[in-house]
Structure 1
Amino acid sequence: MRADWSELAQAAERNENGQMVGVRVEWAGACQPPRVELEGRYCRVEPLNDAKHAAQLFDALHRMPGGANWTYLGHGPFSVLEDWRRWVEESAALDDPQFYAIVDRTDGEAIGLCSYLRIAPADGSIEVGFLNFSPRLQRSRLATEAMYLMMRHAFALGYRRYEWKCDAQNEPSVRAAQRLGFTFEGLFRQARVNKGRNRDTAWFSILDHEWPARRRALEAWLDADNFDSDGRQRTSLSQIVAARP
């Protein structure tokens, strides 16, 4: 989804000085995400734990030729398990980013990594990031469900704004954001230097008043009846979104 500035701008009103200001917000506030397990039909999203997840994730995330799944991340790949364990141990202790492992419910294997970050309860804004999906997780029901579980949890905690940011050259991430129902807000040019290369950052978001429609579409796509006996989708998420504006 994409819109120009006039379409993206929120409602406003005139104050006593004749200035245009944002409308008043009746909002109870958001909570710091607790470290809880998010249970889905196909996957679990578990707080990252060195002893439980490090070895499994090291194996799962180092299977792509050339380490292609690490290209747009600021860290990795890791040549030895000990270095990876150190990164996992340090990262699991952080409050922001707050890291999670994506676990396949069929066998309990950790096959991907994600996090909440830039957590701002006072503003009601939170971002999903540090996404690293193994070949087994990529383009799967589990990947979509994991992102759905993270979204659902954030909005349940009272957040008004859920962000997705990625390297503008990371086409799979851009497509994933659009497929999941995020709105493209703009490009931050030369936002960072990542592994010695320029990074323009693409910004996407879903707002709280948009979430109910996104939730219905995601739940309809994830429903078991949407897949045949071979696991092939009957209706794509984009088709469901188009049919359920």
Structure 2
Amino acid sequence: MELLPEAIEGRIVELRPLTSDYLAPLATAAEHAEIWTYLDEATPDQNGVAALIDEAVEEQRQGLRLPYVIVERRTSAIIGSISFIDLQPKHRGVEIGWAWVTPSHWRTGAAREAAYLLMRYAFDHGAIRVVFKTDSRNTRSQRAIEGLGATREGVFRNHRILRDGYVRDSIFYSVTGQDWPAVRLRLEEQLGSLPN
């Protein structure tokens, strides 16, 4: 499995490797508190977004993450971010996480296509397992992951201690290589029915 930091183009969105060049538009997209409710970050200002970008780029340098910005193709607007995390080349597995889209683009297909594009890229490049996880309180995220066709695997209890001291349970989901052909077909049918 070899995942490289390269642009990935879809019908609705394009994923571009994250760099500090995207700071200003990403900070604008990120300025909504509801994005950060379960992401263990305060609503970041421009300095906070700069720190998140620096962290993501450093993790990429260490081989731990491949971060992207999500660009709406119709307007070229930066509308969010998504990453490959927990890269496991030896076991041919990867997680898709740190995914968020600015609220004006919720329920437009943008987030779904971004996740689809990363799944397609991962499976096309040798992955046999793609993982998603979410806070057990985040029912919107759970519905979105289930809408992708991922299988709920279980709950990691007391999985993480968040910034505010809350002890989070995490729900894990996966799509395996065996699942992917049917998941891919279903997602392509759904995404194909959406306007560009």
1:89 corresponds in structure 2 to 54
Normalised TM-score (structure 2): 0.92
The 1-side partners of 2:11 and 2:59 are apart by 28
The 1-side partners of 2:98 and 2:56 are apart by 11
Normalised TM-score (structure 1): 0.75
Spell out the pairing of 1:49-88 with structure 2 (5 A cutoff). Answer: 49-51=19-21, 53-62=22-31, 64=32, 67-79=33-45, 81-88=46-53
The one-letter amino acid paired with 2:99 is L
Name structure 2 gaps, 5 residues minimum.
Answer: none
Residue 139 (1) aligns with residue 99 (2): no
Match of 1:220 among 183, 189, 194: 189
Matched-pair contact (CA < 8 Å) for 1:72–1:194: no
Residue identity (%): 32
The 1-side partners of 2:48 and 2:131 are apart by 30
The 2-side partners of 1:104 and 1:167 are apart by 27
Matched-pair contact (CA < 8 Å) for 2:15–2:70: yes
Residue 197 (1) aligns with residue 166 (2): yes
Computed over aligned residues only, the root mean square deviation of the Cα atoms, in angstroms, reads: 1.3
Name structure 1 gaps, 5 residues minimum.
Answer: 1-29, 232-245
The structure that has the greater radius of gyration is 1
- CA apart distance, 1:93: 3.6
- CA apart distance, 1:139: 1.3
Q: 1:148-168 CA deviation, whole Å, 9 max, x = no partner?
A: 101000001111110001111
Match of 2:9 among 39, 59, 73: 39
The 1-side partners of 2:145 and 2:47 are apart by 33
Number of residues of Structure 1 aligned to a counterpart in Structure 2: 191
The 2-side partners of 1:61 and 1:103 are apart by 13
